[in-house]
Amino acid sequence: MTATATDRATTAPALPAPRGPLSAGVLAALTTPGRAAPPPADAAAADPYGEDLQLALYLLYELHYRGFADVAEDREWDPALMPLRQALEQRFLGALRADVPGGRTVDDAFGELLVEPTDHSGSVAHHLEHHGEAWQLREYAALRSLYHLKEADPHAWVIPRLRGRAKAGMVAIEYDEFGAGRAENIHAQLFADLMTDLGLETGYGHYLEAAPASALATVNMMSLFGLHRALRGALVGHFACVEVTSSPASRRLAAAMRRGGAGPAAAHFYDEHVEADAVHEQVVRREVIGGLLADEPHLEADVAFGADATVFLDDRLAAHLLGAWRDGHSALRQRRRQGERPTGAPTKAADAHVA
């Protein structure tokens, strides 16, 4: 049975407003028959971490997930969109390679991640655990929903590109992420339950408009790595970084949810990750990374790059969140409208916005 436009309007997210000429051009190309996408050369001059490029890339990537209510499903692999997407990817990936140290080994990258830092000034989890207010918990959940409501989906693309130990280990972890056969235990559903406890909307992509470029970049990187076979090592490095760092951060976030009175489902999401990811850490390091490098040792630098790029972009997002919160402002990207308040934020942040 073919889905109708009415069906899609109730299941796919709405298109956002543009944030510059690239995203405006992509939106026009997606919604106007015969409208050409912006020329690839336009991407070369764009800020690789800026609002316009990151939204344009997010829009094109999202066609591989749930799509958008006003966009035909057959646009997913429209060859007219591919030259611009490739140019946006090259601009973003080139910036990451320039900003993240190269030539590192897996031991270099993961040795640092396995040591608990003594300086917590840049840790969002530590801030929320000890100083976070209820509105900050809601903002954090709203922004992270762009990832967690598709949790494990970008990582699944690497499975057919692995073999042996690496594939078996990856599938074992993904099986847990997808609820071990029970729909109510899928981690994306657990996060939706967390959002309900926090009084947030649970619709997929609902908070896209509120998300600044630093939040979009963390999601775009996963899609970039997942959609390219040549970046399979980077995807494994990213995935391993998430699993290695998840358990201690989740312990802090579970405590933050309890301290903030968020509700049992909110705490349960992070409690689940404390236990599961402690096990996943061992599997991903020994079987997924170990198996991949046993088969393809030349990918070691790519694995390290994937982990380091994850830390780099997570640090940029953390700097944005903590910078706004410590100044008493909302971290959500807002458009100035009379009387509008950012979701979950206090009155004094009603006019805050990130351009």
Concatenate the DSSP letters of all residues of 58-117 into one string: HHHHHTTTT--TTS-GGGTT-TTTHHHHHHHHHHHHHHHHHHS--S--HHHHHHHHTS--
Nearest Cα to 269, choosing from 192, 207, 204, 344?
A: 192
Residue with the larger pLDDT of the pair 275 and 253 = 253
- Is the CB of residue 302 less than 8 Å from the CB of residue 170? no
Instruction: Give me the mean pLDDT over the 296-314 stretch.
Output: 98
pLDDT in tens, 73-131: 999 999 999 999 999 999 999 999 999 988 899 999 999 888 877 788 999 999 999 99
Contacts of 12 (CB under 8 A, 6+ apart): 66, 67, 68, 69, 71, 204
Distance CA 333, CA 331 (A): 7
Query: What confidence score (pLDDT) does residue 353 get?
Result: 32
What percentage of the chain reaches a pLDDT higher than 70? 91
In this structure, which long-range contacts are made by residues 160-163, counting pairs with CB atoms below 8 Å and at least 24 apart in sequence?
161/229, 161/232, 162/232, 162/236, 162/288, 162/291, 162/292, 163/295
pLDDT band at 172 (very low <50, low <70, confident <90, very high): very high
The arithmetic mean of pLDDT across residues 57-79, rounded, is 96
Residue with tokens 């391993």: 240
DSSP annotation of 230 reads G
pLDDT (0 to 100) of residue 332? 97
| Per-residue pLDDT band at 33 (split at 50, 70, 90) | confident
The domains of the chain, with CATH numbers, are: 5-98 (no CATH), 104-349 (1.20.910.10)
CA separation for the pair 51, 19 (Å, rounded):
6
Within 10 Å of residue 49's Cβ, how many Cβ atoms? 18
Per mean pLDDT, which range of 26-35, 37-46, 114-123, 227-236 is the poorest? 114-123
Per-residue model confidence (pLDDT) at position 343: 45
In this predicted structure, which of 124-128, 207-211, 349-353 has the lowest mean pLDDT?
Answer: 349-353
In Å, how far are 22, 41, 43, 82, 204 from 87, measured between CA atoms? 11, 7, 6, 9, 27
**Mean pLDDT, range 283-289, rounded to an integer:** 95
Question: How far from each other are the two terminal CA atoms of the chain, in whole angstroms?
Answer: 43
- At 46, phi and psi to the nearest 5? -80, 150
- Mean pLDDT estimate for the chain: 90
Q: What is the pLDDT of residue 277?
A: 65
Whether 222 has a pLDDT exceeding 70, the answer reads yes
Give the length of the chain. 355
Please return the burial class of 238, using the count of CB atoms within 10 Å of its CB with bins 0-12, 13-18 and 19+.
buried
From residue 42, alpha-carbon distances to 88, 96, 244 in Å are 9, 19, 38
Of 206, 78, 40, which is closest to residue 138 (Cα–Cα)?
Answer: 206
Helices 187-197 + 264-283 axis angle, to 10 = 150
Quick one: pLDDT at residue 51? 98
Q: Above 90 in pLDDT, residue 347?
A: no
Residue matched to tokens 């309890």: 258
Mean pLDDT of 247-268: 93
Given a cut of 80, whether residue 355 has pLDDT beyond it is no
- What is the average per-residue pLDDT within 276-288? 86
Point out the least confidently predicted range of 27-41, 111-125, 256-270.
111-125
Residue range 130-159: mean pLDDT, rounded: 96
Query: Percent of the chain at pLDDT above 90?
Result: 81
Q: pTM score, two decimals?
A: 0.91
pLDDT at residue 150 above 60?
Answer: yes
Q: Which of 99, 90, 102 is nearest to 46 (CA)?
A: 90
Q: What's residue 274's pLDDT?
A: 85
Q: Is the pLDDT of residue 350 over 60?
A: no
